[in-house]
């Protein structure tokens, strides 16, 4: 069987997907986990955390300029 015909299983992540998964997990553990209780109690995400999520490339919410976006 030729390697050209080999398609990896859908459950196998590509290298870039593994890097994204690992960086998001590391970020969540270091930056989000310590503040979960406070965020839950106040039902708010800190602006700094939102900015960091955008910088990480995992946030894609668009907010109209009239609301500060």
Residues of the chain with pLDDT > 90, as a percent, come to 48
DSSP string, 30-64: IIIGGGHHHHHHHT---HHHHHHHHHHT-------
Mean pLDDT throughout 39-56? Answer: 92
Question: Tokens 């894609």 identify what position?
Answer: 60
pLDDT at site 64:
82
Confidence bin at 18 (pLDDT 50/70/90): very high
Q: What is the pTM of this model?
A: 0.65
Average pLDDT for the chain: 87
Is the predicted pLDDT of residue 10 greater than 60, yes or no? yes
Tell me the domain boundaries of the chain.
13-67
């Amino acid at each position: 069987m030729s390697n050209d015909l080999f398609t990896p299983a859908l459950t196998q992540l590509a290298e870039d997907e593994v890097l994204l998964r690992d960086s998001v997990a590391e970020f969540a553990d270091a930056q989000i986990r310590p503040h979960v209780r406070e965020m839950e109690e106040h039902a708010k995400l800190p602006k700094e955390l939102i900015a960091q999520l955008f910088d990480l490339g995992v946030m894609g919410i668009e907010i109209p300029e009239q609301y500060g976006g």
